[in-house]
Chain A
Amino acid sequence: MPPKSVHELLEDPEFQKLARQKNAITLTLTVVELVLYFGFIALIAYNKAFLAQKVSEGSAITLGIPIAVGVIVLSWVLTGIYIFWANNKYDAMVKNVKARMGR
């Protein structure tokens, strides 16, 4: 029985699955981003020595440099992961739900 009204759609298991999956993925990614950045800040606040050590013997580069650049790059990668999921999975689910409602 396809949902006809907004109310019925909210009861529709397909819609509920879509909303659940989206919440799960956006929340997880948000938490990962928070941990990533505030973890970096905590390292600076509580363990400067760790960031100050050299990446390898004889190199001037400190571990802090690749870690900082890593936070920037990983933040972007997270947006990439989301967009990959949304473009491939989420949009299809939205299309499906819309089609069932005759829209």
Chain B
Amino acid sequence: MQTQPQQTIIGTLSPVAIFFFLVFIAVTLGITYWAARRTKNAAQFYAAGGGITGLQNGLALAGDYMSAASFLGIAGLVSTKGYDGLIYSVGWLVGWPIVMFLISEPLRNLGKYTFSDVVAFRLRQKPIKTAAAIGSLVTVLFYLTAQMVGAGTLIKLMFNLPYESALFIVGALMIAYVLFGGMLATTWVQIIKAVLLLGGATLLVVLAMSQFGFSYGRLFSEASTKYTGAFLEPGGLITKPLDAFSLGLALMFGTAGLPHILMRFYTVPDAREARKSVFYATGFIGYFYILTVTIGFGAAVLVGRDFITKIDAGGNMAALALAEHIGGGMFLGFLAAVAFATILAVVAGLTLAGASALSHDLYVGVFRHGEANEKEEMKVAKAATVTLGIVAVLLGLLFQRQNVAFMVGLAFAVASSANFPALLMSITWKRFTTTGAVASIYTGLLIAVILIVLSPTVYEDVFQATQVKARTSAAATLTKLDKYSKDPAKTLATLKPKAEALAVAVNTPGATGRIHEANVKELAGLQADIALIEGNRLADALLAAKAAKTKADGEVTKAPFPMKNPGVFSMGGAFLVGILLSLFKREKDAEAKFEAEKVRTYVGIGAEGASSH
């Protein structure tokens, strides 16, 4: 189909991208300046004074949730793996109805600034706030590390900016937003980012679909022609049902335990606006995933899987490659800037949530027994913001060369196991006790962290990264040689023209950059393969590959915990321990206060009107 060799400017610092990015920074810093003058007390800092509307908060929730990793990552997954990417994207939405039905209204009615306010409503403040703050911080830090490493890597990939500089820019901007503008500035950064991302993705989908006459039938029929029908069928994503169920639990209930999401419910005036905001957020996020999946399929057909994986082996540049393919450098620059803005907004939201856990829960709630004045709390909150921002940059530097994909999974596992069970039981169960809550939080946290460390994702892929890589490449070589030896003559007939075409691309004057390098590598591999077949050394090579595979397999120590997702055990354990310990010893005081809690949960009498502070 393609007559001339495909090229890309992805990975160069394009003036268009810089222009759009500078405009975004100017606007958001302007908003921060405006918000700073309206952020004088704790209620304004943590909750934007409770003056955000349902629609605004819905957009901001969507902005908090739609990360660059999910935008670029899911589009990439769909473009390389087809239907499996779609399955994956569904899991990211289904937690939102749960947030609405079980959490949003009671949370708004019972709490003040953080979800630990709710858990501690009728239980003993100090142990609960300590445990809940630790649960929040662990969730936030894992999520933040994943986002920071993702930010550095993506920015390097998109603009060829050094990893460290990218982290410093992100760190400085997010600290500025939160430190000076508090929740009000953070909310507006989220809203702008959500509008840009939804708008940019919509435009990309419209442009891509115009090439298929706006017919999904044609898009899928071309995808199926290009990559066989299996591209549109479930593949290898779900092979172990219990593992898949476990992941589903973490995604569904983890969303309802993410501190930066829960915190957003205090920015609206009442429970009615809180529930409205979830309705909007669910709609926006669902729409966004449908767009992202369309982008993935569109990129697979229009740009091609081979080309996408040449830019980045993980496929993360699929959406940007599609933008460049149909809209040129201008559209690519715009979308890259949007992706950058997306990263910034998400880390700002996380920083604010982490700072609140440090200042509102730990400092005021535990250290000062809940008796700090406004001025003191603000001071501590701001110090916590700067600390957390610096920690985030350091974590990003520390984990630079690590595979951090597991950290988002870990954040959801901790959120669903440490935060969610205690939160739900404290709202709904009269007999729930302080001991039960504290034990539930620590149990969920520990089981989630320990099992993930002992799972293949960390125990093999992280701790034994080199050996796993050797194992993967040995397996790939074996599969390849196995296929070759079935019909060497036919293989030769397909390899040779491919090598010739590549040689033309490689020897084109002025060919440089990422694609060129990938082509050079592929050509060398093809030439070696051709020499192997022509020299009749295929049988020997196959034997050697089998031996290498056995050896590589033997060098990886198998993970003690066979599942990738601990949700069943960590969430189950947290509920079980919470229930058993609460039943074991009653807490009369907490039971007595349940009446008031119940009335407040259902009708909101006595709820904190954050705006009246």
**Do A and B form a real pair?**
yes
Do A10 and B595 form a contact, CB below 8 Å, given A52-B233, A80-B279? Answer: yes
Q: Using Cβ atoms and an 8 Å threshold, which residues of chain A touch B237?
A: 44
| B138-146, B217-225, B317-325 - interface stretch | B217-225
CB proximity of A42 to chain B, nearest CB, Å: 7
Per-position binary interface string of chain A over residues 13-35, scored 1 when its CB falls under 8 Å from any chain B CB and 0 otherwise: 00100110010001101100110
B-facing residues in A38-63 (Cβ within 8 Å): 38, 40-42, 44-46, 48, 51-52, 59-62
Return the chain B residue nearest A56 by Cβ.
B217
Q: Using Cβ atoms and an 8 Å threshold, which residues of chain A touch B598?
A: 10, 19
Return the chain B residue nearest A87 by Cβ.
B272
8 further interface pairs, Cβ-Cβ under 8 Å (given A46-B241, A75-B94, A103-B605): A6-B599, A7-B595, A33-B94, A41-B245, A45-B241, A60-B220, A68-B87, A76-B286
Q: Counting CB contacts under 8 A, is B34 at the interface? A: no
CB proximity of B581 to chain A, nearest CB, Å: 25
Do A26 and B603 form a contact, CB below 8 Å, given A37-B252, A52-B234? Answer: no
Per-position binary interface string of chain A over residues 59-75, scored 1 when its CB falls under 8 Å from any chain B CB and 0 otherwise: 11110110011011101
CB proximity of A64 to chain B, nearest CB, Å: 6
Return the chain B residue nearest A50 by Cβ.
B234
Between-chain CB contacts (< 8 Å), 5 pairs: A15-B602, A42-B241, A78-B97, A82-B101, A98-B603
CB proximity of B117 to chain A, nearest CB, Å: 19
Q: Counting CB contacts under 8 A, is B513 at the interface? A: no
Q: Counting CB contacts under 8 A, is B365 at the interface? A: no
Q: Are B238 and A83 in contact (CB under 8 A)?
A: no
Q: Using Cβ atoms and an 8 Å threshold, which residues of chain B touch A15?
A: 599, 602-603
Do A51 and B595 form a contact, CB below 8 Å, given A15-B602, A38-B248, A83-B275? Answer: no
Do A75 and B96 form a contact, CB below 8 Å, given A44-B87, A91-B272? Answer: yes
CB proximity of A66 to chain B, nearest CB, Å: 10
A37 to B100, CA, bound (A): 16
Do A82 and B100 form a contact, CB below 8 Å, given A75-B93, A76-B282, A94-B604? Answer: yes
Per-position binary interface string of chain B over residues 591-613, scored 1 when its CB falls under 8 Å from any chain A CB and 0 otherwise: 00001101100111100000000
Q: Using Cβ atoms and an 8 Å threshold, which residues of chain A touch B282?
A: 75-76, 79
CB proximity of B231 to chain A, nearest CB, Å: 9
CB proximity of B5 to chain A, nearest CB, Å: 29
A51 to B229, CA, bound (A): 12
Q: Are A79 and B244 in contact (CB under 8 A)?
A: no
Q: Are A83 and B86 in contact (CB under 8 A)?
A: no
Q: What bracket does the count of chain A residues touching chain B fall in?
A: 35 or more
Q: Using Cβ atoms and an 8 Å threshold, which residues of chain B touch A91?
A: 272
Do A6 and B602 form a contact, CB below 8 Å, given A26-B102, A65-B220? Answer: no
Q: Counting CB contacts under 8 A, is B90 at the interface? A: yes
The one of B90, B225, B233 in contact with A40, judged by C-beta atoms closer than 8 angstroms, is B90
Q: Are A19 and B602 in contact (CB under 8 A)?
A: yes
Q: Are A71 and B602 in contact (CB under 8 A)?
A: no
A41 to B87, CA, bound (A): 8
Q: Are A79 and B83 in contact (CB under 8 A)?
A: no
CB proximity of B417 to chain A, nearest CB, Å: 17
Return the chain B residue nearest A69 by Cβ.
B290
Return the chain B residue nearest A32 by Cβ.
B97
Q: Using Cβ atoms and an 8 Å threshold, which residues of chain A touch B234?
A: 44, 48, 51-52, 64
Per-position binary interface string of chain B over residues 562-582, scored 1 when its CB falls under 8 Å from any chain A CB and 0 otherwise: 000000000000000000000
Q: Using Cβ atoms and an 8 Å threshold, which residues of chain A touch B241?
A: 41-42, 45-46
Q: Are B100 and A79 in contact (CB under 8 A)?
A: yes
A82 to B101, CA, bound (A): 8
Q: Counting CB contacts under 8 A, is B289 at the interface? A: yes
Q: Using Cβ atoms and an 8 Å threshold, which residues of chain B touch A9?
A: 599
CB proximity of A80 to chain B, nearest CB, Å: 6
Q: Using Cβ atoms and an 8 Å threshold, which residues of chain B touch A87?
A: 272
A5 to B199, CA, bound (A): 51
CB proximity of A22 to chain B, nearest CB, Å: 6
The one of B290, B595, B599 in contact with A72, judged by C-beta atoms closer than 8 angstroms, is B290
The one of B83, B97, B275, B286 in contact with A64, judged by C-beta atoms closer than 8 angstroms, is B83
Q: Are A60 and B229 in contact (CB under 8 A)?
A: yes
Q: Counting CB contacts under 8 A, is B216 at the interface? A: yes
A94 to B272, CA, bound (A): 11
Q: Using Cβ atoms and an 8 Å threshold, which residues of chain B touch A64?
A: 83, 86, 232-234
Q: Counting CB contacts under 8 A, is B38 at the interface? A: no
Q: Using Cβ atoms and an 8 Å threshold, which residues of chain B touch A26?
A: 101-102
A43 to B275, CA, bound (A): 31
Q: Using Cβ atoms and an 8 Å threshold, which residues of chain B touch A36?
A: 94
Return the chain A residue nearest B224 by Cβ.
A60
Q: Using Cβ atoms and an 8 Å threshold, which residues of chain B touch A98?
A: 603, 605
CB proximity of B82 to chain A, nearest CB, Å: 10
A8 to B538, CA, bound (A): 87
Q: Counting CB contacts under 8 A, is B586 at the interface? A: no
Q: Using Cβ atoms and an 8 Å threshold, which residues of chain A touch B216?
A: 61
Q: Counting CB contacts under 8 A, is B276 at the interface? A: yes
A-facing residues in B97-155 (Cβ within 8 Å): 97-98, 100-102
CB proximity of A53 to chain B, nearest CB, Å: 9
Q: Using Cβ atoms and an 8 Å threshold, which residues of chain A touch B221?
A: 59-60
A29 to B93, CA, bound (A): 15
Do A79 and B602 form a contact, CB below 8 Å, given A42-B241, A61-B217, A62-B232? Answer: no
A44 to B88, CA, bound (A): 12
A72 to B89, CA, bound (A): 9
Q: Are B83 and A62 in contact (CB under 8 A)?
A: yes
A76 to B286, CA, bound (A): 7
CB proximity of A48 to chain B, nearest CB, Å: 5
Q: Are B97 and A59 in contact (CB under 8 A)?
A: no
- B97, B233, B290 pick with most chain A CB within 10 angstroms: B97
Return the chain B residue nearest A72 by Cβ.
B286
